[in-house]
């Protein structure tokens, strides 16, 4: 009797594996996912907003003491920044004149499509956007924030939705360089919103707070997008290259709308 029952379980599991293999090979899973995302997206948007509001409310209460200290330091910093703004405004004017002269504008470099963030994957290194194949989104397109900070690239595309593989995903790696130093390396994801710069030549001097930007070498991302800043540098005598921890510049908690670069 028990033998018969175990046999039934094994047959059931084999049948189920067969069904999943057929679903995966036929690509029907995309339709199933798209259907569920379409039905769930209004609820997910509401829950996303509710989560954000609740989190803001509680973090406000918890951090009320530190907020006062921060306020004082920010006031001082603000004064310093005001001074810097005056200098930067002058530089901006100069820059605009130069741009006009060279006929280079950012919108001419990139064609952007705005999308709303509606869900986050449990593995924490992919997110879901409300734009898909019907909006002209294709696999591999870079995704940036409004401040042109690199977030990731489009992974799976559905009719009305698309998944973004964040740069911190373990599957992600791309060429990057350290701004103003011409030091090249490969940025690799570590998972859990952490990433590091690998294959940095040993003789190059990398320091904390250095900004990491995308390089044109790999062709995956347009060059000059901000990736993050160096948090920690690791150098050993045994290894031929040095590595550096990168602190990503994006914070998923504060993101609502993102931009997909459709052409670069």
Partner 1 sequence: MTKKIIFCIILFYILILIQTSFSVYFKVLDLIPNLVLIAVVFITLFTPQQWWGVSAALIGGFYLDIFSLSNIGFFGFYTLVLLLFSFLSKIILQKYVRIPLFKRI
For partner 1, the binding residues (CB under 8 A) are: 9, 13, 16-17, 19-20, 23-24, 29, 32-33, 36, 40, 43-45, 47-48, 50-52, 54-55, 118-124, 126, 128, 155-156, 163, 165, 170, 192, 252-253
In the complex with partner 1, the residue whose CB is nearer, 52 or 229, is 52
Q: How far is the CB of 98 from partner 1 (least distance, A)?
A: 43
In the complex with partner 1, the residue whose CB is nearer, 33 or 204, is 33
E strand or H helix that includes residue 244:
strand 241-248
In the complex with partner 1, the residue whose CB is nearer, 137 or 213, is 137
CB atoms within 10 A of CB 244: 24
Q: How far is the CB of 9 from partner 1 (least distance, A)?
A: 6
Q: Which two tokens stand for residue 96?
A: 């605009």
> Contact, 212 vs 179, CB < 8 A?
yes
In angstroms, the CA 144 to CA 139 distance is 15
In the complex with partner 1, the residue whose CB is nearer, 55 or 95, is 55
Nearest alpha carbon to residue 218 among 242, 195, 187: 187
- Cα 116 to Cα 1, 23, 143, 153, 193: the distances in Å are 55, 29, 12, 15, 20
Q: How far is the CB of 151 from partner 1 (least distance, A)?
A: 15
In the complex with partner 1, the residue whose CB is nearer, 116 or 179, is 116
Q: How far is the CB of 70 from partner 1 (least distance, A)?
A: 21
Q: Which two tokens stand for residue 13?
A: 């599991």
């Amino acid at each position: 009797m028990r033998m018969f029952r175990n046999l039934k379980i094994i047959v059931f599991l084999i049948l189920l594996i067969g069904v999943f293999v057929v679903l995966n090979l036929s690509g029907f899973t995309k339709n199933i996912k798209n259907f569920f995302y379409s039905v769930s997206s209004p609820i997910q948007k509401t829950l996303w907003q509710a989560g954000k509001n609740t989190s803001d409310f509680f973090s406000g209460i918890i951090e009320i003491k530190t907020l006062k200290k921060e306020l004082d330091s920010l006031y001082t910093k603000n004064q310093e920044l005001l001074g810097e703004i005056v200098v930067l405004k002058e530089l901006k004017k100069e820059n605009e004149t130069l741009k006009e002269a060279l006929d280079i504008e950012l919108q001419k470099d990139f064609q952007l499509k705005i999308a709303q963030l509606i869900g986050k994957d449990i593995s924490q290194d992919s997110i879901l956007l409300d734009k898909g194949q019907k909006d002209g989104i294709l696999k591999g397109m870079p995704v940036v924030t409004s401040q042109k900070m690199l977030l990731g690239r489009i992974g799976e595309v559905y009719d009305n939705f698309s998944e973004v593989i964040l740069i911190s995903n373990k599957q992600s790696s791309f060429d990057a360089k350290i701004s103003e130093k011409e030091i090249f390396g490969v940025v690799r994801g570590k998972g859990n919103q952490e990433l590091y710069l690998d294959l940095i030549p040993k003789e190059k001097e990398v320091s904390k707070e250095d900004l990491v930007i995308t390089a044109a070498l790999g062709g995956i991302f347009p060059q000059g997008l901000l990736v993050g800043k160096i948090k920690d540098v690791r150098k050993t005598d045994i290894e031929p290259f040095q590595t550096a921890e990168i602190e990503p510049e994006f914070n998923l908690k504060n993101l609502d709308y993102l931009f997909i670069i459709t052409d670069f």
